[in-house]
A and B are shown apart, each in its own frame.
Chain A
Amino acid sequence: MTEIFSLYGQPDSQGPAGPSALGFGSGKPQAPQNMGPMCFQHQMVDEGGPIRKPAAMNEPFYLLRELPMENELTGHTNLITHYNLEHAYNKFCGKKVKEKLSNFLPELPGMIDSPGIQDNSSLRSLIEKPPVCNNSFSPLTGAMLTGFRLHTGPLPEQYRLMHIQPPKKKNKHKHKHHRPQDPLPPETPSDSDHKKKKKKKDDDPDRKKKKKDKKKKKNRHSPDHPGMTGAQPSSSSLR
Chain B
Amino acid sequence: MAEKFDNLEEHLEKFVENIRQLGIIVSDFQPSSQTGLNQKLFSLSWNFMITGLQDIEKCRQQLHDINVPLEVFEYIDQGRNPQLYTKECLERALAKNEQVKGKIDTLTKFKSLLISELGKVFPEEMAKYKAIHGDDPPS
- Residue ranges of A at the interface with B (Cβ–Cβ < 8 Å): 60-61, 64, 67, 74-76, 78-80, 85, 88-89, 92-93, 97-101, 103-104, 107-109, 112-117, 122-124, 127, 137-140, 145, 148, 150-155, 160, 162-163, 179-180, 182-183, 233-234, 237-238
Contacts and interface: CB of A to CB of B under 8 A. Distances in A.
Contact of B27 (A123, A127, A138, A155): A155
Contacts of B13: 107
Interface in B7-57: 13, 16-17, 20-21, 23-31, 38-39, 42-43, 46-47, 50-51, 53-54, 57
Given A67-B133, A75-B100, A180 B24 contact: yes
Given A75-B97, A79-B97, A152-B30, A163 B20 contact: yes
A111 to B, nearest CB: 9
B73 A99 contact: no
Contacts of B25: 150
Contacts of A234: 98
B81 A137 contact: no
Q: How many residues of B sit at the interface, in one of the four size bands?
A: 35 or more
Contacts of B99: 75
A183 B27 CA distance: 10
A68 to B, nearest CB: 12
9 contacts: A61-B125, A76-B105, A78-B97, A88-B90, A104-B82, A109-B16, A116-B76, A137-B53, A140-B46
Contact of B57 (A108, A137, A151): A137
Contact of B97 (A80, A127, A152, A163): A80
Interface of A (DSSP majority class): loop
Contacts of B76: 101, 116, 123
B91 to A, nearest CB: 6
A234 B101 CA distance: 13
A11 to B, nearest CB: 34
Nearest to B99: A75
A62 to B, nearest CB: 11
Contact of B132 (A64, A104, A107, A179): A64
B78 interface: yes
Contacts of A98: 81
A178 B82 CA distance: 27
Interface in B71-97: 73-74, 76-84, 86-87, 90-91, 93-94, 96-97
- Which DSSP category, helix, strand, loop or mixed, fits chain B's interface? helix
B91 A93 contact: yes
B129 interface: yes
Given A123-B76, A123-B77, A237 B29 contact: no
Nearest to A160: B27
Contacts of A78: 97
Contacts of B50: 137-140
B103 interface: yes
A124 B30 CA distance: 38
Nearest to A107: B13
Contact of A151 (B23, B29, B46, B97): B29
A124 B73 contact: yes
